[in-house]
């Protein structure tokens, strides 16, 4: 397992109205996509998920948060990471990448593509047009004012998203990614950064319009693999009109070979009981363990890969 360098996870959680767009007038619109069958699904963008992950890592795991600055002047100012800060000092620059533009006299633009990549979290249950009617009647009554009225789209559903990362790139830069050239941090720090990230995913939550949404996994599948790929993207679905997990597409995915070894041989499954209607079938076919044990095992594999205890 120590040769497997690629982290790949598929995650299902339950959420309510995860991400709003600009809206129209007094109507707050969810971010949504419509498929060819006419069904509409809400989603939470990968940017919104990463925002919540970054906030959690800074608050609870002491990741370096103050590494950005405005660059340029007037209306042309852009916010980017500080040019003199590297992946040594910034864990999020290491995992999530950056682009640092510069004036000619300051040197070339520095770019690092993201090592950890997330998909959007897309609902597994179609949006049916539910709307909440809101007023500020309580506050208006205090000062004999008229109510303000708003409507927001509302959607409670299971959501699925994926995470993938090439662990061989964590803690290492190429010569064109930093002003100091090639950087490599110690293995212990590499493992800590990945496992901090995994711990954040395990306890993730998101604050939306005064609500806190628990994004902790109800179902998680994945592990460390020889090749980086979001193997479970589009493979986590419900059987239509049920809360039953579609196992046929998962089993078909696990039957894919990677370098002459089945995906199934690298994969573990974590499950919170009492969520899916076909829980017994999930247990019989996928042999899940608890979500806590899933993360414990995965973090041990990460340490083994980096050769630390």
pLDDT of residue 106: 66
pLDDT given for residue 78 in this prediction: 87
pLDDT in the model for residue 1? 41
2 pLDDT tier (thresholds 50, 70, 90): low
Q: Provide the pLDDT confidence category of residue 104 given band limits of 50, 70 and 90.
A: low
Across the range 40-49, mean pLDDT stands at: 96
| pLDDT at residue number 309 | 83
Token pair 């950064």: residue? 193
Contact in structure between 220 and 272 (CB atoms under 8 Å): no
Contact 28, 155 (CB under 8 A): no
Which residues make beta-bridge pairs with 30?
20
Tell me which DSSP letter residue 147 carries.
P
pLDDT > 90: what percent of the chain? Answer: 75
Q: Which of 10-24, 96-110, 158-172, 211-225 has the lowest mean pLDDT?
A: 96-110
Q: How far apart are CA 202 and CA 294, in angstroms?
A: 10
The two beta strands, 27-28 and 205-208, are: unpaired
Q: CA 124, CA 11: separation in Å to the nearest integer?
A: 12
Angle made by CA atoms 164, 165, 166, in degrees to the nearest 5: 140
Q: Which of 209-213, 241-245, 269-273 has the lowest mean pLDDT?
A: 209-213
The answer, yes or no, to whether residue 261 has pLDDT greater than 80, is yes
3-state SS, 180-215, equals CCCCECCHHHHHHHHHHHHHHHHCCEEEECCEEEEC
């Amino acid at each position: 397992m120590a040769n497997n360098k690629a982290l790949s996870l598929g995650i299902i959680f339950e959420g309510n109205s995860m991400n709003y767009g600009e809206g129209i007038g007094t109507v707050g619109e969810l971010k949504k996509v419509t498929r060819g069958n006419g069904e509409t699904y809400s989603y939470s963008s990968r940017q919104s998920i990463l925002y919540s992950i970054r906030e959690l890592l800074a608050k609870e795991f002491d990741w370096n948060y103050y590494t950005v600055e405005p660059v340029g002047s007037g209306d042309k100012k852009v916010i980017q990471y500080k040019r003199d800060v590297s992946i040594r000092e910034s864990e999020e620059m290491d995992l999530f990448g950056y682009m640092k533009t510069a004036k000619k006299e300051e040197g070339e633009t520095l770019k690092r593509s993201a090592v950890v990549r997330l998909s959007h979290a897309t609902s597994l249950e179609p949006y049916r047009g539910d709307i909440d009617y809101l007023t500020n009647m309580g506050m208006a009554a205090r000062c004999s004012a008229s109510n303000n009225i708003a409507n927001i789209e509302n959607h409670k559903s299971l959501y699925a998203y994926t995470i993938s990362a090439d662990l061989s790139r964590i803690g290492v830069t190429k010569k064109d990614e930093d002003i100091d050239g090639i950087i490599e941090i110690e293995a212990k720090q590499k493992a800590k950064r990945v496992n901090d990230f995994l711990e954040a995913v395990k306890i993730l939550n998101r604050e939306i319009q005064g609500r806190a949404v628990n994004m902790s996994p109800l179902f998680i599948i994945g592990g460390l693999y020889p090749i980086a790929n979001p193997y479970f993207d589009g493979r986590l679905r419900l059987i239509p009109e049920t809360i039953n997990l579609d196992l046929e597409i998962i089993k078909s995915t696990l039957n894919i070979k990677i370098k002459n070894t089945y995906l199934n041989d690298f994969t573990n499954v974590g499950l919170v009981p009492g969520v899916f209607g076909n829980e017994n079938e999930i247990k019989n076919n996928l042999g899940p363990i608890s979500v806590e044990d899933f993360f414990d095992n995965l973090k041990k594999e990460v340490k083994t890969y980096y050769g630390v205890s």
